[in-house]
Structure 1
């Protein structure tokens, strides 16, 4: 295995798209809290810490999941031999150390959120992933908490609470659909995910109901005055994409969860546009 192949494998372990997405959500949390211009160094530290922590969490997840991935994802870095299990573990530790070093420079609330999240990232695969619904809920919390972390980095957490709840519900929906997609490998490894515990169709119904709740609640940030009218104009198509994804997941979970991810990205864009609309009236 060449150095270049190992480097690519290490990069793959981090899931670069997920790292960028989580870092962007942290930035949005700070932006919604109105602190990007006032606390640029704190925002930068929070964004980079998030990226490092997510990369570390993904790497350690692949370490613990290496046997399952031989069935579900044989092309991933560890199963195909690009990175050794020990190498993945050491790489994860290095990234976690970088995340901690940056997080401790932030306000106390942000440090507390970072501490909880780092413990959750380490504990997820080993203790929570195989528990029906609980592993999904933990991942949902972690995604939603990026908004809280970004806002806490600039000292104003309240505006991000609604975003945390909406993002967590949408993520919980996607995680359940992903478990339906991975049911064969999870069953082979003896995991007891929600689709295995209650059946695939019931799990998909739960996912769809959760998403409908999120869609119905999506106007709340506008109604509470956190965002301008532009938010509604962007979040409406995002809601439509996510509802379509939930419907498609009954026939094709792979397509459904992939489309849901795009809907979630569009919703994140709505948060940015909605906040900017308050500061730049021409966007309303």
Structure 2
């Protein structure tokens, strides 16, 4: 059971569903073998990243998250390493079955996950890497279905995760400084980090209508965006720009997660 839990299967399932969103956005919804393979690749690639993080963070997790499978002793590190290798190899083999583009995309994602876990997590580019990786599944779906419109959810994902990662940096700023972690907030300062997060959200406001303007999505999408997404985005910008306390920043992070879910729902209704 521990070898399944270490994958964080819920996160992997969300990644698999995101592949479907990238494949279906603006097109007839056809479920075929290629899409199923894409979903499995998304699930396994996400699992690889989660397992890899737990391998590198085992000492930190023994203090901060002792309930996780590795520090709790539910799994053996040697077998977990083999599990990560297996997930990566299977993902690459399945990607070859899809297309050369899919193989290249999956290979890049696996390399970024490896670099993030081993090197970049404590450096300021970590936020960008995380944001790009969250959009990986949409691009994979687009490749599976030859759907250029997958660029919309990819851009949406990047622009919603960048400010959220910055907010998480602001929340953890004191602890990160103590551990020598050079986050975006630590590098440019708290106020500039808030401004940068707000700029990303402003860019998100500008791109959200584009699928409707280009007639990729219909009026139902635009109604959901106008009613459910725009108000909390504007509200989030206002909260972030205030000198908010950490509890307020946590609320802003949760609001951005809600916006992310609302945006994805709008793209598939």
Counterparts in 2 of 1:206 and 1:70: CA distance versus 1, 3 Å: farther
Q: Verify: 1:264 aligned to 2:256, yes or no.
A: no
> Gaps (5+ residues) in structure 1?
1-6, 274-284
Q: How many angstroms does 1:140 deviate by?
A: 0.8
> Gaps (5+ residues) in structure 2?
none
Counterparts in 2 of 1:178 and 1:12: CA distance versus 1, 3 Å: farther
Counterparts in 2 of 1:147 and 1:247: CA distance versus 1, 3 Å: same
Contact kept in structure 2, 1:208 and 1:246, CA below 8 Å: yes
Q: Verify: 1:24 aligned to 2:17, yes or no.
A: yes
Residue number in structure 1 paired with 2:97: 105
Counterparts in 2 of 1:193 and 1:67: CA distance versus 1, 3 Å: farther
Q: Verify: 1:66 aligned to 2:58, yes or no.
A: yes
Matches of residues 199-218 of structure 1 in structure 2 within 5 Å?
199-218=189-208
Q: Distance in 2 between matches of 1:35 and 1:57?
A: 31
Matches of residues 1-284 of structure 1 in structure 2 within 5 Å?
7=1, 9-32=2-25, 34=27, 36-37=29-30, 40-132=32-124, 134-156=125-147, 158-236=148-226, 237-245=228-236, 247-248=238-239, 250-251=244-245, 252=247, 253-273=249-269
Q: TM-score, normalised by structure 1?
A: 0.83
Q: How many angstroms does 1:216 deviate by?
A: 2.4
Q: Distance in 1 between matches of 2:238 and 2:54?
A: 30
Deviations 1:207-239 (A, max 9, x none): 122112112221011111110011111123123
Contact kept in structure 1, 2:164 and 2:253, CA below 8 Å: yes
2:142 is paired with a residue whose SS is helix
Contact kept in structure 2, 1:18 and 1:54, CA below 8 Å: yes
Q: How many angstroms does 1:129 deviate by?
A: 1.7
Once the two structures are overlaid, the 10-residue window that deviates more, 178-187 or 216-225, is 178-187
Q: Distance in 1 between matches of 2:175 and 2:62?
A: 9
Once the two structures are overlaid, the 10-residue window that deviates more, 41-50 or 80-89, is 80-89
Contact kept in structure 1, 2:153 and 2:264, CA below 8 Å: no
Counterparts in 2 of 1:100 and 1:257: CA distance versus 1, 3 Å: same
Q: Distance in 1 between matches of 2:136 and 2:8?
A: 19
Q: TM-score, normalised by structure 2?
A: 0.87
Root-mean-square deviation over aligned CA pairs: 2.2
